Copies of this chain bind each other. A is one copy, B any other.
Amino acid sequence: MQQRPATGQSELVFLPLGGAGEIGMNLNCYGYGPPDERVWIVVDCGVLFGRETSTPGVDLMMPDIRFLENVRQDLLGIVLTHGHEDHIGAVAHLWPKLRCPVYATPFTVELVRHKLEEAGLQDRVKLKPVPLGGKITLGPFSIEYISITHSIPEPNCLAIRTPAGTVVHTGDWKLDPDPLLGAITNDSALRQLGDEGVLALVCDSTNVLVSGESGSEAEVRRSLIRLIASLKGRVAVTAFASNVARLESIAEAARLANREVALVGRAMRHMVDAAREVGYLRDFPKTVDEEIAARLPSDNVLFLCTGSQGERRAALWRIASGDHPRVSLDDGDSVIFSSRIIPGNELAIFELQNRLAAKGVSVLTERDHFVHVSGHPARDELAAMYAWVKPRISIPVHGELRHLQEHARFARELQVPRAIVATNGQMLRLAPGDPEIIDETPSGRLHVDGRMLVVEEAGFARSRRALSFAGFVGITLVLDRRRRLAADPVFYMEGIPDVVGESLRSAVARALRDKADDLEEHVRIAARRAAADVWGKKPVVRVQLVEI
């Protein structure tokens, strides 16, 4: 770590607290001012879904914002680029620790408002709508919303002008010449910024490993129309609910194939309502209720379902498992996955598809049909962005380390003078002078574990994961006042084969005959050793003494 010069000069700094090192839970901070008097803005405030492997029992994760809590008095606002969960999902959880105004365009406001209502925060949070293409000024930060394209209504790129220079923060984006819903990318604004001079481009890295272009929603619509027209029997389509243009494409394909649309799953209905609320989906056909749809002839219905990632509580899993109260699929019916597999969800999705196959349902996916395009820029699109914006510094975000590193390499190939990988917690001075990492701030993750918000470091998920490998053994020893056993030891054994348990009991009985200064530790070691001898694995062993 470099020492920073002890001047009172104003600096512009960038600090990612989430998303730089993982895909998800994006939270980026910009600070401006002399080191001890900086003011801050936060761009996006998202969540990441927990993994059964690494974080069992954790539903959601979000950035540890200890650093921001400490500068809360100097925090001017949270500025949201768009409404995906990995950009807004943490607002309702973290706002009580930050208590600053929140800015977003109307559709995103609608989604955040709903979350705040669920959390009972709607009257406390100043949620400020910004019109598309609008500008806001927060202290030294003058922020312009620039329309771009992505896989949700109202994606925005931010031009953040400061006395030290302009940063272009892309948010999530792609270049879709025909996004079907909303504006196309305002490339003239981006070119103009490039001509004015851009200090740094903070840019989406998700698909830097993908060559070519991401493709257009309009092409997917044409393909879905052809595909759905060709199908007999009931058709179910699952897609990311937030891809409202896609929902419209599917509804349009249904209409052209003489199929009524039923929305199945809460998120699907919620997203359609939110889009209508702010004026989108004006031509979306009137949907029918699940009950009515269930009684329509097979060739006249299309179920638009949640659950493309194999989520067990979502509509499609319940349908595939025969557990849905109203919707069922059978031999000869079809399910289209108009979605991609989010890495880590493969086995759950395949299990879902196996359940559908067991019913004789045909499963159509992006692997065999053109039913999905990504919402993130492939390499040709990244190259176009760099050509427009011409930044002096490239800062890759929104990616794992392998994406960030490759993005930096790619930016250098594109002749960007500096490309710097700053991961979560690394504070990067952008100006004045050469860009440089000047500090490491506390960073990490908060877990939504059940209803509680706990720091990852507390290790509850890690402890549970340890239990899943070799189980648990608890041993209570009841001693009288002379420290002699007053009863047989009490054993708790979970996830341990019976034979191992027996051997462990015998070993403990033997150990209790020894004289040991530290009886608990002596018994604990004997138990672990016995398990290792028979089983080859050592469970978590706890021993407690009770004196009576």
Residues of A within 8 A of B (CB): 51-54, 56-57, 209-211, 343-344, 346-347, 350, 353-358, 360, 362-363, 367-368, 400-402, 404-406, 409, 449-452, 454, 458, 460-461, 463-465, 467-472, 474, 476, 478, 486-488, 490, 492, 494-500, 534-537, 540, 542, 544, 546-548
Contacts and interface: CB of A to CB of B under 8 A. Distances in A.
A537 B450 contact: yes
B495 A464 contact: yes
Contacts of A454: 497
Given A402-B363, A464-B471, A548 B476 contact: no
- DSSP class of A's interface residues: helix, strand, loop or mixed? mixed
A469 B347 contact: no
Contacts of A52: 52-53, 468
Contacts of A469: 56-57, 464
A356 B402 contact: yes
A134 to B, nearest CB: 38
Given A460-B497, A464-B495, A548-B548, A57 B402 contact: no
Contacts of A544: 476, 490, 492
B497 A209 contact: no
A354 B402 contact: yes
Nearest to A546: B487
Contacts of A547: 487
Contacts of A540: 494
Contact of A449 (B409, B474, B497): B497
A380 to B, nearest CB: 14
A57 B367 contact: no
Contact of A471 (B57, B350, B355): B57
A506 to B, nearest CB: 17
A548 B546 CA distance: 12
Contacts of A355: 401
A492 B347 contact: no
Contacts of A468: 52, 56-57, 464-465, 467-468
Contacts of A542: 492, 494
A486 B535 contact: no
B471 A367 contact: no
Contacts of A490: 476, 544, 546
Nearest to A58: B469
Contacts of A449: 497, 535, 537
Nearest to A343: B346
Nearest to A23: B350
